Amino acid sequence: MNNIKERIVSVLRKNPKGLTISKIAEQVGIHRTTIPKYLYELRGEKKVLIRDIGPARVFYLNTKFTKRIDEDTIIRRLRSAM
Predicted confidence (pLDDT) per residue in 15-62, tens digit: 989 999 999 999 999 999 999 999 999 999 899 999 999 999 999 999
Say what the pLDDT of residue 43 is. 93
Burial class (CB in 10 A: 0-12, 13-18, 19+), 73: exposed
Output the domain CATH number for residue 71: 1.10.10.10
Which structural domain range is residue 73 located in? 3-81
At 70, the pLDDT band (50, 70, 90 cuts) reads: low
Number of separate domains in the chain: 1
Predicted confidence (pLDDT) per residue in 72-81, tens digit: 555 566 677 7
Say what the pLDDT of residue 74 is. 55
Do residues 38 and 46 lie in contact, with contact meaning Cβ atoms separated by under 8 Å? no
